Structure 1
């Protein structure tokens, strides 16, 4: 079972990161994960478009706000 983690933007590396077992991992384009929406996991991937990060899930895309945190499992 995957455990929930907080995904945060790291401006130093220009990546979204998660912490696992005390280590920070930067996410790259095309990586898949579950985004929690209203407590339910939704499969998606992380992508980068012209310096803007976004999620793709089914036929929906939305840009990530660098000031926000997202609950994910990877």
Structure 2
């Protein structure tokens, strides 16, 4: 999955597979996680958020199943 670099102190890049509804997040620490069943509007909200780390914590982190891929 291709990710785009974002401005954030905690998140380095974000990618999204619209057909599978999979959000991929690469953290500044180096970990890469995939979150399953994330609607497109949540992905859009994350990209648009002024504080991506805060948005991620409130709307993604504990709301969707995930797996660490790296």
TM over 0.5: no
Identify the structure with the greater helix proportion. 2
Question: With CA pairs under 8 Å and 6+ residues apart, which has the higher RCO, 1 or 2?
Answer: 1
Find the structure with the greater CA-based Rg: 1
TM-score when normalising by structure 2 = 0.33
Identify the structure with the greater strand proportion. 1
TM-score when normalising by structure 1 = 0.32
